[in-house]
Amino acid sequence: MNTEIATNPMDVKALAMDFLTVSQQAAIAAYPWIGKGKKNEADGAGTEAMRNQMNTIDMLGVIVIGEGEMDEAPMLYIGEKLGTKKGPQLDIAVDPVEGTTLMSKGQENALTVVAGAARGSLLHAPDMYMKKIAVGPKAKGCIDINATLTENMSVVAKALRKEVHELTIMIQERERHHMLIDEVLELGARIKLFPDVDIPGAIATCIDEMNIDMLVGTGGAPEGVITATAIKCLGGDFQGQLVPQSEEEISRCLEMGIEEPEKTLTIDEIVKTDQCFFVATGITDGLLVKGIQKKEDQFTLSHSFVAIGGDVKNYQFIEARHS
């Protein structure tokens, strides 16, 4: 299991704005590949820009969720150390282009995401499926990933002071989720389906204006760690459960220090500290943020979302002009 290394929590929080620049630069680098049908080129451009910018930050950062193992990825591989090696020690979880297929087709909801936390505090999740459930701060402590969706909707509705039929549930449009979709509709509640990328939908549960009450479904485990970090910064709640599909995936869990691969994981087990942050920058327009825009005066416009954990949780939407 991870061994936590002491670090100054205020330094970790202060790094959020440095990582905003990291996210912005990765999104801008990926922008030229929108709609070009070349996922690898887009991901490579975002990855290189992200890595170069992170190496300018005064920190000792270690990639725990990245582009793959050292033999699979030349940059941002799991275990890679980044930064000037001076300053706070961090776990870093990244996806330079979340939604590569969406981006390659010119579709919405492609974005750059990065999360950081004190060293030793983020779950080292293998690249496999994870069952997930997310809610906002008003329903914190109510969810149980082992209960039925009907049971979870009932307790969440009570916490939100709503009737069950007034709830809106975010679910990825996949065949594996048809039973969940049917269950929501049978209860008279609303569904909001999305084709790919579940991180924005989970975050939306924590932002009242987005009118999303819960996200449920099965998606990528690495993305689950990034999502849990964002949700923790926002004061919401998240639970996950790894879903290994083979003996090889079970062995992979054990190798990464996860002794009970199918154990229910609470948000505090996925992210073991409140000293954490999350940053996302839109590449294409999406639920959470707008995409990169090129302006006639040679400026580039970016739209980002920054969430910072700690004693006083807060988030910001940031529009920036880049020459």
- Both 245 and 140 in one domain: the answer is yes
Residue 220 annotated as part of some ligand binding site? yes
296 pLDDT more than 70 = yes
pLDDT the model gives residue 27:
97
Q: Give the pLDDT confidence of 54-64 residue by residue, as tens digits.
A: 999 999 999 99
Taking alpha carbons only, the member of 97, 94, 96, 107 closest to residue 36 is 107
Residue 190 annotated as part of some ligand binding site? no
Q: Please spell the DSSP secondary structure of 34-98, one letter per residue.
A: TTSS-HHHHHHHHHHHHHHHHTTSSSEEEEEESS--TTT-SSS-TT-EES-S-S-EEEEEEEEEE
Measuring CA to CA, how many Å separate 210 from each of 109, 166, 170, 187, 289?
Answer: 15, 14, 11, 21, 12
- Both 249 and 297 in one domain: the answer is no
6 pLDDT more than 80 = no
> CA-to-CA distance for 283 and 216, rounded, in angstroms?
25
Taking alpha carbons only, the member of 74, 40, 65 closest to residue 128 is 65
| 258 found inside a domain | yes
Residue 183 annotated as part of some ligand binding site? no
Residue 247 annotated as part of some ligand binding site? no
> CA-to-CA distance for 20 and 113, rounded, in angstroms?
10
pLDDT the model gives residue 11:
67
9 pLDDT more than 70 = no
| 147 found inside a domain | yes
Residue 208 annotated as part of some ligand binding site? no
Residues spanned by the domain of 93:
12-120+275-322
> CA-to-CA distance for 213 and 231, rounded, in angstroms?
13
Amino acid at the residue 294: K
Taking alpha carbons only, the member of 319, 91, 131, 103 closest to residue 242 is 131
- Both 63 and 146 in one domain: the answer is no
| 71 found inside a domain | yes
164-169: average pLDDT: 98
Residue 176 annotated as part of some ligand binding site? yes
> CA-to-CA distance for 312 and 321, rounded, in angstroms?
28
Residue 68 annotated as part of some ligand binding site? no
- Residue 263, number of CB atoms within 10 A of its CB: 13
- Both 266 and 311 in one domain: the answer is no
Percent of the chain with pLDDT over 90: 84
pLDDT the model gives residue 159:
98
pLDDT the model gives residue 262:
87
Taking alpha carbons only, the member of 275, 234, 241 closest to residue 258 is 241
Mean pLDDT score of the chain, rounded to an integer?
93
212-238: average pLDDT: 97
Q: Give the pLDDT confidence of 226-284 residue by residue, as tens digits.
A: 999 999 999 999 999 999 999 998 998 888 888 888 899 999 999 999 999 999 999 99
Residue 129 annotated as part of some ligand binding site? yes
Q: How many domains does the chain have?
A: 2
Query: Helix 16-30 to helix 39-54 angle, to the nearest 10 degrees?
Result: 150
Instruction: Kindly report the backbone phi and psi dihedral angles of residue 180, in degrees, each rounded to the nearest multiple of 5, phi listed first.
Output: -65, -45
302-310: average pLDDT: 94
- Both 45 and 148 in one domain: the answer is no
- Both 208 and 241 in one domain: the answer is yes
167-173: average pLDDT: 97
- Both 64 and 137 in one domain: the answer is no
Residue 218 annotated as part of some ligand binding site? no
The tokens describing 153, both together, are 């909707």
pTM of the model: 0.94
pLDDT grade, residue 2 (50/70/90)? very low
> CA-to-CA distance for 141 and 263, rounded, in angstroms?
18
pLDDT the model gives residue 77:
94
Residue 174 annotated as part of some ligand binding site? yes
191 pLDDT more than 90 = yes
Residue 186 annotated as part of some ligand binding site? no
pLDDT the model gives residue 313:
77
pLDDT grade, residue 5 (50/70/90)? very low
